[in-house]
Amino acid sequence: MTEPVVNRPPSRAPSETMPYVHKVGIPPKQDILKEFKSGVKETFFADDPLRQFKDQPRSRKLMLVIQSVFPILDWGRHYSLQKFKGDIIAGLTIASLCIPQDIGYAKLAKLDPQYGLYSSFVPPLIYAFMGSSRDIAIGPVAVVSLLLGSLLQEEIDPTENPTDYRRLAFTATFFAGVTQATLGFFRLGFLIDFLSHAAIVGFMAGAAVTIALQQLKGLLGIKKFTQNTDIVSVMKSVWGTVHHGWNWQTILIGVSFLAILLLAKHIAKKNPKYFWVPAITPLLSVIIATFLVYITRADNHGVAIVKHIKKGVNPSSAKEIFFTGDYLGKGFKIGVVSGMVALTEAVAIARTFATMKDYQIDGNKEMVALGTMNMIGSLTSCYIATGSFSRSAVNYMSGCNTAVSNIVMSIVVLLTLLFITPLFKYTPNAILASIIISAVVGLFDINAMILIWKIDKFDFLACLGAFFGVVFVSVEIGLLIAVSISFAKILLQVTRPRTAILGKLPRTSVYRNIQQYPEALKIPGVLIIRVDSAIYFSNSNYVKERILRWLADEEEYLKENNQSRIEFLIVEMSPVTDIDTSGIHALEELHRALEKKDIRLVLANPGAIVMDKLHASQFVNLIGEDKIFLTVTDAVLTCAPKLEQA
């Protein structure tokens, strides 16, 4: 690949006044197949997943394939009691956190409470065998539950037709899994990179507010509550029931435990040593609140309680999935959307903790694991599970070492399902509402928002758009806004690349943007313009016209000040990483337009690919090979002497 080629001799003899000028290199020709192969590799196998297979015997390769599908076979061999100690503590901690959350999140998805627990049993088990993150905690999460609930509700009313609603939920879960696994298998994982960080921050914050608002129902003991999630409808519901409808006993339980939960969070924030305090407070609160309601029989005074959670392990739901009929398409659509959102969250978590512990995550393999776990989940009465940010953080803080902590959690949830669910009968809904509120508080990341504001105003706009979309309209609209803004940003980026006028920095031979370096000097008779992007069909016209506009501005200025006219236009091509046919056309048109004004077009430092295409299209012959230089300095040195003679 780096085989040296003999450079062609320079086309003009170096004059005595000229310094050494290095030729612009043309890279060794690659054959098409090789070029295509390397293109495909960078696009789909950027992380070089097959690196370890190189130079291995066949039997070892097979072993490696199996290991790469089930990483547990790899790390399991080095598993030790020492590691298990960390994992069991972490597993028990996240189990205590997930049980009350699961029951609450199932309510967000408008499903019966046991489905939340089911989803914390099967999916984490599958993940432990297939996933490569050591820190992620798998289970239902608030945002996906809310999203799934609102999307499903638009199709089927959960109170009027609970059976079909549940079946559609499993269908959506199945297709969410299929989507995730497919994206991973075809190595299209980079598609989730198209959701910008800013849009996600805004969307999450909006979802947090919406979820918290939804909890006012449970927290205030309101019976008739709106089905909409926008802030206006919710606040109307809340204020409309202020005189008759609020239940003071419920409020007392809810608000006091909410205060305790938030205090616990605050303690951990002040002193990370006490991270376990907010981790176990929810379960303790549930136990205490349940006990209080049981002994005071507050449920007879209007305090809403869970009443009934079905006991026993996940029943099969394979036959409940709609594989035919009208709901198949609907379930598919809902599954794709919520599957993608779930994926975004899980991959972000996996990446964050992998960076913190310095190990590698293969995003695409991770997606296959998540997809498989949701597909199997949908057959065993689970709804969409993914990585939970709050529980993963607790998992990490409690010292988890491997995915075994997920197995431990999963077993605890199984035991709960088998033996303990009846005890939740008297659990007041208000305590679940408080737990959810305290859990989603963390999704509202005000610091991230401030940072976004500081760094990029356009990003902040995207963030606000997604936030207000979720809060004032609906989760789907917020998501749509987030995606649209992200795409708009990408499209703007490619249509309107930046250009800059360069000047020479005093005491150096370096040419830089005169807006960044106001002390940089322009060279008389020469205009140097840098184009800051590949020139493609999407921006070729703009680039051409922008260069001509810079030229017109400069000419006007020179005329007004009676200075010598421009004779050379140097285009600094360093940032122009690629060019296509439209780009070549634009350059040709630029050359023709400049010719009419008797100005020479000069190129500085075209890259390998650009140089290749300039040759292929004969553009080099059009402007002359001696008009292409390695650096702006070389170009100016060759142009400027002529100016002095003129």
Residue 555 contacts a second copy per CB under 8 A: no
- Of residues 334-353, which lie at the interface with a second copy (CB under 8 A)? 351
CA 588 from chain center: how many Å?
Answer: 40
Kindly compute the dihedral angle of the four CA atoms of residues 317, 319, 322, 324, in this order, to the nearest 10 degrees: 170
Using CA atoms, how far apart are residues 66 and 358, in angstroms rounded to an integer? 24
Which part of the chain contacts a second copy (CB under 8 A), choosing from 160-168, 311-319, 385-393, 514-522?
A: 514-522
Tokens 């940003």: give the residue.
Answer: 489
Least distance (Å) from a second copy to the CB of residue 545?
6
Residue 521 contacts a second copy per CB under 8 A: no
Using CA atoms, how far apart are residues 317 and 170, in angstroms rounded to an integer? 8
Nearer to a second copy, 5 or 235 (CB): 5
State the number of binding residues for a second copy (CB under 8 A): 100
Taking CB under 8 A as the criterion, the residue among 179, 631, 635, 638 binding a second copy is: 631
Residue 34 contacts a second copy per CB under 8 A: no
Residue 542 contacts a second copy per CB under 8 A: yes
Residue 508 contacts a second copy per CB under 8 A: yes
Which part of the chain contacts a second copy (CB under 8 A), choosing from 43-51, 54-62, 321-329, 562-570?
A: 43-51
Least distance (Å) from a second copy to the CB of residue 454?
4
- Of residues 362-381, which lie at the interface with a second copy (CB under 8 A)? 363
Taking CB under 8 A as the criterion, the residue among 9, 57, 272, 518 binding a second copy is: 518
Q: What is the 3-state secondary structure (H, E, C) of 574-641?
A: CCCCCECHHHHHHHHHHHHHHHHCCCEEEEECCCHHHHHHHHHCCHHHHHCHHHEECCHHHHHHHHHH
Taking CB under 8 A as the criterion, the residue among 297, 577, 621, 626 binding a second copy is: 577
In single-letter form, the type of residue at position 519 comes to E
Q: Containing H/E element for 501? A: strand 499-504
Residue 39 contacts a second copy per CB under 8 A: yes
Residue 563 contacts a second copy per CB under 8 A: no
List helix spans (H) across 297-388: 326-357, 363-379
Q: Write the DSSP string, 7-49.
A: PPPPSSPPPTTS---PPPP-PPPPPHHHHHHHHHHHHH-TT-T
Least distance (Å) from a second copy to the CB of residue 583?
9
- Of residues 254-293, which lie at the interface with a second copy (CB under 8 A)? none
Least distance (Å) from a second copy to the CB of residue 1?
7
Nearer to a second copy, 325 or 518 (CB): 518
Using CA atoms, how far apart are residues 35 and 338, in angstroms rounded to an integer? 37
Least distance (Å) from a second copy to the CB of residue 159?
34
Residues with Cβ within 8 Å of 145's Cβ and at least 6 positions away in sequence, in order, are 105, 106, 108, 109, 383, 384
The pair of structure tokens assigned to 551 is 């030229």
Nearer to a second copy, 271 or 577 (CB): 577
Which part of the chain contacts a second copy (CB under 8 A), choosing from 251-259, 299-307, 355-363, 467-475?
A: 355-363
Nearer to a second copy, 196 or 314 (CB): 196
Residue 496 contacts a second copy per CB under 8 A: yes
Interface map 428-467 toward a second copy (x if CB under 8 A): --------------------x--xx-xxxxxx--------
- Of residues 46-105, which lie at the interface with a second copy (CB under 8 A)? 46-48
Which part of the chain contacts a second copy (CB under 8 A), choosing from 27-35, 98-106, 274-282, 406-414?
A: 27-35
- Of residues 462-491, which lie at the interface with a second copy (CB under 8 A)? 486, 489-491
Using CA atoms, how far apart are residues 8 and 11, in angstroms rounded to an integer? 8
Least distance (Å) from a second copy to the CB of residue 79?
24
- Of residues 3-22, which lie at the interface with a second copy (CB under 8 A)? 3-5, 7, 20, 22
Residue 164 contacts a second copy per CB under 8 A: no
Distances (CA, A) of 424 to 28, 280, 413, 434, 614: 72, 17, 14, 16, 73
Using CA atoms, how far apart are residues 113 and 108, in angstroms rounded to an integer? 10
Using CA atoms, how far apart are residues 130 and 252, in angstroms rounded to an integer? 45
Which part of the chain contacts a second copy (CB under 8 A), choosing from 98-106, 127-135, 209-217, 503-511?
A: 503-511
DSSP tally for the chain: helices H, then strands E: 26, 8
